[in-house]
Amino acid sequence: MTLITATTRESGLSAAAGRVLTSLHKSLLWAWLDVICQYRRSRIGPLWETINVVVMMLGLTLVSSAIFGGEVTSLIGYIGLGIITWSAINSLIAEGTTAFVRNAGFITSSNIEIDLYVGRTVFKIAITFGHHLILYFIGVGLMIIPLGWTSLLAIPGIILLFVNGFWIVTVLAFICARFRDVELIVRNLLQLAFFVTPVFWNHQNIAGNRRFIVDYNVIFYFIEIIRAPLLGRIPPLHDYLVAAGATIVGFALAFIVYRRMRRQLAFFV
């Protein structure tokens, strides 16, 4: 009896893992198709967004150098990687708010799994992020940014960021489908978050009595576990622990929201 139960559990876990992998594969294909369709007939495709990042990076570098001081060549790597990572975080949050609303036609007229809309959004942003990383390798080629074994530590940081993207998109998509005003609130808060997060200014220069701006800013830790290794620095263990804690809490929240709201989604959108 015990053997039969164990075998049943193993087959159940294998089936669940297979469904998850199938869902991820479908989401990736859908996201890739979205990128192709969005930039159809464009000569350089998603690199247009990368050009926007370059313009923003150069502008903020010049402004930051003039206001806070420092050499442009030493700031451009820090600010550039900060903007690249921030762009991914910003997109996960902003597009997460409309993930279900913009797919209302599919949700109300088909039986496509809800997970596919979430995965589609996350993978599309990940593909765009990959295009932006071209700037990092250009910086390495121009010897503006150092290249060492510590750069490999950015890989778990990137994975952790986009794993969190699944719960971020899930929670925001459900809540914003039910309460449409939340989308506008989130977008306004994102504008504020950009300035209070060390994207283009160095967190080490902040006064001691204002450290709470950084210490309690979860977005900063996700930026730092990617940016620091690419700049040749090893992030402290504390940064990874905060990011891991946010992951656990976030998925617990996503599970609760999913269980309570998924049956009413067709009525929300």
| Average pLDDT rounded to a whole number, residues 237-265 | 92
Question: 225 falls in which pLDDT band (50, 70, 90)?
Answer: very high
Please answer whether residues 221 and 242 qualify as being in contact, where contact means their C-beta atoms are separated by less than 8 angstroms: yes
- Higher-confidence position of 42 and 221: 221
Predicted pLDDT of residue 135: 87
Predicted pLDDT of residue 3: 47
| Average pLDDT rounded to a whole number, residues 137-166 | 89
Give the pLDDT confidence of 45-91 residue by residue, as tens digits: 777 778 888 888 888 888 877 777 767 777 888 888 999 999 999 99
Give the rounded percent of residues in the chain with a pLDDT score beyond 70.
94
What's the token pair of residue 64?
A: 């930051």
Give the pLDDT confidence of 169-214 residue by residue, as tens digits: 999 999 999 998 999 999 999 999 998 888 888 877 777 777 888 8
Give the pLDDT confidence of 5-17 residue by residue, as tens digits: 555 556 666 766 7
Give me the chain's average pLDDT, please: 85
Find the DSSP H helices in 69-113: 72-96, 104-109
For 167, residues 6+ apart whose C-beta sits below 8 A from its C-beta are 247, 250, 251, 253, 254
Please answer whether residues 150 and 232 qualify as being in contact, where contact means their C-beta atoms are separated by less than 8 angstroms: yes
Predicted pLDDT of residue 59: 85
CA distance 260 to 49: 37
Predicted pLDDT of residue 9: 59
For 95, residues 6+ apart whose C-beta sits below 8 A from its C-beta are 121, 124, 125, 169
Predicted pLDDT of residue 123: 93
Give the rounded percent of residues in the chain with a pLDDT score beyond 90.
38
Give the pLDDT confidence of 123-140 residue by residue, as tens digits: 999 999 998 888 888 888
- On the question of pLDDT at 247 being above 80, the answer is yes
